[in-house]
């Protein structure tokens, strides 16, 4: 690129960042140090994808990526740097069902099958890969147990109930519910690595783990929960998802949906997250969830504790950084480390800016007689 064009791109990027109080080579922890001048035209040409990839490539650094991204969101800059190269991906997500059939397994293969050693180093002992509940919790393990207990209490679990876990991960939630509340759990996942370790983690308990798409489940269950899976369902499948829940929920049953949420209705995901971390993912908005559930279930409770995801992501990042030298460098090289760091910290910034939400929504099949009540929750 011509020197003049690079200089012009630098001035434009500096102007945009300045609106968020971010400087190039500044002294604040959210300021950027740019190592290659090509960074500036790349960001203008590629938007979010170029910003994230250029960090992975070592073109820039920042002492506090989470604080940087928080400032970007508060200044609404990601919304202003939309590039034409995003258009094919946006149209593809809008018009095609990217989470149907074999495509439903892609996120498992791309993300969750990376390696159980990585997730074991990052997560709590139960390997819960979703937002913890930090009210009164002093560390990650306590926050995750508090979240699982919150889920179990909202579901009003009691011994002998049959429970379906849609998107069971490594089996931590199923194990907790079976051990602490005496229920029988069936968990489903699209990740082979997750399924194998989940079976090991739940050995000896009344827990069945299946490697299958949630749409294949046909039995009836007294309770259903889904923690951190709805983000992979896709907007074209939201109504079908709730159809499955209603089909599988016994009369008088309760369903709990735990999902990251978006402030606006959209059919696209951040380009960098979609390309590098969660292919075909999509964050639902409140209207999308309500519309999909309409005529299928009765909404009983809606709880937002999205600010807690900031703490959870920072705890995961600290765990990874502390454990990095013990991980296999042949599997996880320096670009991977930078990618993972950017993923965790940029998401923390998004939640801290309250651009991203975390919702727990409780539904009943046909309305809880006399109303829905869980003593001691709120």
| pLDDT tops 90 at residue 81 | no
Q: Which residues are catalytic?
A: 347
Last residue of a domain, one of 82, 112, 133: 82
DSSP letter at 32? B
**Per-residue pLDDT tens digits for 5-46:** 789 999 999 999 999 999 999 999 999 999 999 999 999 999
Would you state the pLDDT for residue 106?
Answer: 62
| Pair 54, 172 in one domain | no
| Pair 162, 298 in one domain | yes
| Pair 129, 61 in one domain | no
| Residue 249 CA, distance from chain mean position | 25
Q: Is 337 inside a domain boundary?
A: yes
- CA dist 341 and 65 (Å) reads 9
Q: Is 378 inside a domain boundary?
A: no
| Pair 347, 276 in one domain | yes
| Pair 170, 284 in one domain | yes
- Terminal C-alpha separation, the chain: 59
The domain spanning residue 102 has which CATH number?
Answer: 3.40.50.150
Q: Which of 65, 66, 6 is closest to 36 using CA atoms? A: 6
pTM: 0.92
| pLDDT tops 50 at residue 90 | no
Looking at the DSSP bridge assignments, the partners of residue 224 are 164, 255
Specify the 3-state DSSP secondary structure of 175.
helix
Last residue of a domain, one of 31, 58, 82: 82
Last residue of a domain, one of 34, 51, 82: 82
| Pair 102, 12 in one domain | no
| Pair 178, 261 in one domain | yes
Residue with tokens 């991980």: 327
- CA dist 345 and 363 (Å) reads 32
**Per-residue pLDDT tens digits for 307-327:** 999 999 999 999 999 999 999
Phi, psi of 263 (to 5 degrees): -75, -20
Q: Is 329 inside a domain boundary?
A: yes
- CA dist 345 and 117 (Å) reads 20
Residues 146 and 207: beta-carbon distance below 8 Å:
no
| Pair 103, 67 in one domain | no
Q: Is 90 inside a domain boundary?
A: no
| Pair 201, 68 in one domain | no
| Pair 222, 300 in one domain | yes
Would you state the pLDDT for residue 11?
Answer: 95
Q: Is 370 inside a domain boundary?
A: no
| pLDDT tops 80 at residue 375 | no
| Pair 77, 107 in one domain | no
**Lowest pLDDT segment from 244-248, 352-356, 357-361, 367-371:** 367-371
Q: Is 89 inside a domain boundary?
A: no
Number of domains in the chain: 2
- Sequence-distant (≥ 6) Cβ neighbours of residue 287 within 8 angstroms: 265
| Pair 120, 58 in one domain | no
Q: Is 374 inside a domain boundary?
A: no
Structural domain of 25: 3-82
**Lowest pLDDT segment from 75-79, 101-105, 112-116, 195-199:** 101-105
Alpha carbon separation from 177 to 154, 159, 162, 190 (Å, rounded): 12, 10, 11, 21
Mean of the pLDDT values across residues 267-291?
91
Q: Is 45 inside a domain boundary?
A: yes
Mean of the pLDDT values across residues 75-94?
59
């Amino acid at each position: 690129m011509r020197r003049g064009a690079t200089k012009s791109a630098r001035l434009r990027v500096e102007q945009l960042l300045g609106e968020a109080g971010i400087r190039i080579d500044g002294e604040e922890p959210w300021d950027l140090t740019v190592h290659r001048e090509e960074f500036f035209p790349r960001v203008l040409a590629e938007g979010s994808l170029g910003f994230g990839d250029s960090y992975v490539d070592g073109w820039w650094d920042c002492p506090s990526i989470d604080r940087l991204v928080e400032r970007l969101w508060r200044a609404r800059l990601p919304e202003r740097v939309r590039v034409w190269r995003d258009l094919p991906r946006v149209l593809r997500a809008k018009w095609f069902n990217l989470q149907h059939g074999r495509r439903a397994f892609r996120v498992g293969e791309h993300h969750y099958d990376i390696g159980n050693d990585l997730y074991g180093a990052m997560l709590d002992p139960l390997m819960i890969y979703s937002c913890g509940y930090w009210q009164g919790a002093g560390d990650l393990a306590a926050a995750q147990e508090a979240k699982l207990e919150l889920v179990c209490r909202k579901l009003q679990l009691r011994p002998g109930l049959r429970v379906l876990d849609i998107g069971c991960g490594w089996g931590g939630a199923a194990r907790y519910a079976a051990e602490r509340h005496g229920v029988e759990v069936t968990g489903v996942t699209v990740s082979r690595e997750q399924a194998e370790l989940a079976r090991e983690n739940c050995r000896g308990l009344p827990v069945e783990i299946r490697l299958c798409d949630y749409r294949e489940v046909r039995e009836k269950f007294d309770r259903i929960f889904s923690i951190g899976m709805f983000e992979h369902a896709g907007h074209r499948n939201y109504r079908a998802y709730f159809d499955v829940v209603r089909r599988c929920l016994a009369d008088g049953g309760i369903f709990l949906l735990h999902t990251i949420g978006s402030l606006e209705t959209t059919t696209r995901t951040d380009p960098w997250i979609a390309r590098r971390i969660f292919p075909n993912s999509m964050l639902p908005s409140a209207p999308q969830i309500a519309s999909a559930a309409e005529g299928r279930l009765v909404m009983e409770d809606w709880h937002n504790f999205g600010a807690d995801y900031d703490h959870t992501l920072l705890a995961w990042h600290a765990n990874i950084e502390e454990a990095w030298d013990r991980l296999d460098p042949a599997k996880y090289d320096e670009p991977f480390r930078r990618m993972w760091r950017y993923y965790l910290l940029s998401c923390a910034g998004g939640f801290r800016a309250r651009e991203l939400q975390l919702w727990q929504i409780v539904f009943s099949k046909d309305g809880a007689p006399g109303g829905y009540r869980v003593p001691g929750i709120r």
